[in-house]
A = this chain, B = another copy of it.
Amino acid sequence: MTKKWTPASAADGVEQVLKILEGKWKLVILFHLFGGQVKRFSELEKAIPAITQKMLIQQLRQLEADGIVTRTIYHQVPPKVEYSLTDWGQELCPALDALLKWAENKK
C-alpha cells in the first residue's frame, strides 16, 4: 500500500534521502559499488579520475555514516582499505533506477 503523505512529511522524507545522495560525487561512487562490488580506495581514485582525495574520503565517510557503505580495514603494510555497499545500500539501486527511467521519458 502506498503510504499517506502530507506534502510536508513527504517532502521531509525525500529531503532526508536527497541529503544523503547529495554531494557531487556520491552517486558516482555508489554506481561503482553497486552489484556487490568491493573496491579499494586507490581503485576508486583511478575509477573516478576527476575526484580529489579530500572529496573521495569525505563522501565515503558520509556514506558510511549514513549506513550505505561499509569500510573494511586490513592492518598490514602497505595499508589496505576496502569499500562495499551495505544491504540497505544495495536496495537503493531500484529507487535510482526509477529516477533514471523517469529521466529517459523526458523528450
Contact = CB atoms under 8 A, between A and B. Distances in A.
Contacts of A8: 28, 31
Please give the count of copies of this chain that the complex contains.
2
B102 A17 contact: yes
A58 interface: no
Contacts of A96: 10, 14
Nearest 7 interchain pairs by C-beta: A7-B31, A95-B98, A11-B28, A98-B98, A11-B27, A11-B31, A7-B32
Interface in A66-107: 67, 88, 91-92, 94-106
A89 to B, nearest CB: 10
A42 interface: no
B27 A100 contact: no
Given A10-B96, A88-B106, A91-B105, 12 more contacts: A3-B100, A5-B31, A8-B31, A13-B99, A14-B96, A14-B99, A15-B28, A17-B100, A67-B106, A95-B98, A95-B99, A95-B101
